[in-house]
Amino acid sequence: MRMSRRFGTGRIGSVLVAITLIAVGLLPAGQAAAVTPPADVIVEWNRIAVNAITGTAGQGPTVAYLHLAMVQGAVYDAVNGIDGGHEPYLEVPSSADPSDSMEAAAVTAAHHVLVGLFSTPPMTNAGLVTTLDGQFAASLAAITAPGEAGGIMVGAEAAQTMLDERTGDGRFVAFVAPDEGSGAGEWRRTANPLPVAFPFGFEPAPWVGDVEPFVIASAAALRSDGPRALTSDAYAADYNEVKRYGALNSTVRTADQTFAALFWQANGAVLFNFAFRDLADSQDLDIVDAARMFAMGDLAGADGAIACWNDKYYWNFWRPITAIHAASDGNPATVADPTWTPLLATPPFPEHPSGHTCISGAVVRTLQRFFGTDEVPFTATGTLAGVTRTRSFNRFSVAIREIIDARVWAGFHFRTADVQGKVIGNKVAHALVKNHFYEVG
């Protein structure tokens, strides 16, 4: 663990000192906080965090998951520090006491991490910090349970521990991408103007694969088996499947498959954090269990992104549009079509493995382990190109199977990349539940 910095200088330290001084003496001595409050503040501040990170800041899923992991990890350590039922993610705040308000601790941890992020380049956003400060004040004013002053101190300590831990972790560090290739199988950018375009015209965060992981020991240790050999029957099967089902004018893709492809192209961090909020409500989670579920889900998603992007730039494999346009790949079972266009715009970075299945695979397997069953219904909602879509599932495995298919239907992934991405995600989830969040005693 890196050396800690004290929460005593700059804007963040000033905010903490002011809040702590205001809070002292607000509550009569001897009052005890409720042991297990509802999950309302966890849900509320997850929504605030998602809106700030993906909405106002416009971060895509790979970067968003890193910052949501920081927020939810700190919230978990704050709430769990007071509850004491599970091992901490980083450490138990030294100021934690069973009489402290878990709600105040959760709100403070989320707010302070967000303010820390948006007070530091390159994410500095003074207007957003002002908005967050107002939301923080409103949340504290609505908390009626005793122990508020102590909860604020616990949340502040958990937030600062997280901010210290992630300082210098490789986020936003300049990355030198490999040269674009020109031969068979080598990735290069391919222009594909479409009505529903990729939200960035460039790779927004190639550095993600070099970020220090949250729960796994090493991104490179989760290396995938890699793309199929171009001359193999398996590659030809992948090629011909995406050529048929992923084409803009496909005659075999159904209307529901098209809807699913569009649905899962929305920001995955938004989709699954909506699902977390839906699950917190539908499964009637209290503040302790909700804090743990949100932390486990977003930490899994963050390391799914890190492991995947490390793998992408290792293999540097071409996208279906490039492969289908190519004059030859040496495989007699593939036939080029220079006019072929995918359903959705092809992302401007290497194909293998699928980012969505790495990340969503990690999240889904983690949710299965958290609930102890696959048979949990949930709903997710996301927006793409101004259109909001909602999809419901009766179990977690149905969702991940659909994501694997949907990336083929979208026209920018071979099935092998989707399947191997899910394997990476499963390995992330395994490491998470094996080494973190287990029950004390």
Q: Name the residue among 81, 156, 87 with its Cα closest to residue 115.
A: 156
Domain-located, residue 5 = no
Handedness of CA 309, 310, 311, 316 (dihedral sign): positive
Per-residue pLDDT at 67 exceeds 50: yes
Give how many domains the chain has, as a whole number.
2
Q: Are residue 161 and residue 215 in the same domain, yes or no? A: no
- Residue 198 Rama label (left phi>0; alpha psi -120 to 50; beta): beta
Which of 56-70, 202-216, 224-238, 328-342 has the lowest average pLDDT? 202-216
Average pLDDT over residues 338-351: 93
For residue 202, the model assigns a pLDDT of 59
Average pLDDT over residues 22-39: 52
Which CATH number characterizes residue 155's domain? 1.20.144
Q: CA 194 to CA 180: how far, in whole Å?
A: 22
What is the average pLDDT value for the chain, to the nearest integer? 90
Which of 202-211, 273-282, 364-373 has the lowest average pLDDT? 202-211
Per-residue pLDDT at 6 exceeds 50: no
Q: Are 141 and 52 in contact (CB under 8 A)?
A: no
Q: Distances from the Cα of 202 to the Cαs of 174, 180, 190, in angstroms? A: 15, 13, 11
Q: Are residue 362 and residue 286 in the same domain, yes or no? A: yes
What is the band of 180 on the pLDDT scale with cuts at 50, 70, 90? Answer: confident
Which CATH number characterizes residue 297's domain? 1.10.606.20
Q: Are residue 225 and residue 342 in the same domain, yes or no? A: yes
Q: CA 102 to CA 145: how far, in whole Å?
A: 9
What is the band of 348 on the pLDDT scale with cuts at 50, 70, 90? Answer: confident
What is the band of 362 on the pLDDT scale with cuts at 50, 70, 90? Answer: very high
Of 165, 181, 198, the residue at which a domain comes to its end is: 165
Report the Cα–Cα distance between both ends of the chain, in Å, rounded: 25
Q: Are residue 80 and residue 224 in the same domain, yes or no? A: no
User: What is the token pair recorded at 151?
Assistant: 């909860």
Q: Are residue 159 and residue 234 in the same domain, yes or no? A: no
Of 112, 133, 165, the residue at which a domain comes to its end is: 165
Domain-located, residue 302 = yes
What is the band of 145 on the pLDDT scale with cuts at 50, 70, 90? Answer: confident
Per-residue pLDDT at 183 exceeds 80: yes
Q: Are 349 and 416 in contact (CB under 8 A)?
A: no
Average pLDDT over residues 411-415: 97
Amino acid, res. 264: W
Of 114, 132, 165, the residue at which a domain comes to its end is: 165
Query: Burial of 238 by CB count in 10 Å (0-12 exposed, 13-18 middle, 19+ buried)?
Result: buried
Domain-located, residue 117 = yes
Longest dimension (CA), the chain: 81
Per-residue pLDDT at 205 exceeds 50: yes
Amino acid, res. 321: I
DSSP 331-389: -TT----TT--BSSPPPSS--SS-HHHHHHHHHHHHHHHHHT-S---EEEEEEETTEEE
For residue 219, the model assigns a pLDDT of 97
Average pLDDT over residues 415-435: 98
For residue 30, the model assigns a pLDDT of 40
For residue 117, the model assigns a pLDDT of 98
For residue 385, the model assigns a pLDDT of 83
Q: CA 417 to CA 311: how far, in whole Å?
A: 11
- pTM assigned to the model: 0.90
Average pLDDT over residues 296-310: 98
What is the band of 86 on the pLDDT scale with cuts at 50, 70, 90? Answer: very high
Q: Are residue 155 and residue 247 in the same domain, yes or no? A: no
Q: Are 320 and 242 in contact (CB under 8 A)?
A: yes
Q: Are 149 and 86 in contact (CB under 8 A)?
A: no
For residue 179, the model assigns a pLDDT of 80
Q: Are residue 407 and residue 307 in the same domain, yes or no? A: yes
Domain-located, residue 1 = no
Q: Name the residue among 413, 199, 403, 386 with its Cα closest to residue 301.
A: 403
Average pLDDT over residues 75-104: 97
Amino acid, res. 254: T
Q: What angle do CA 68, 257, 317 make, to 5 degrees?
A: 65
Show the domain range for 373. 206-435
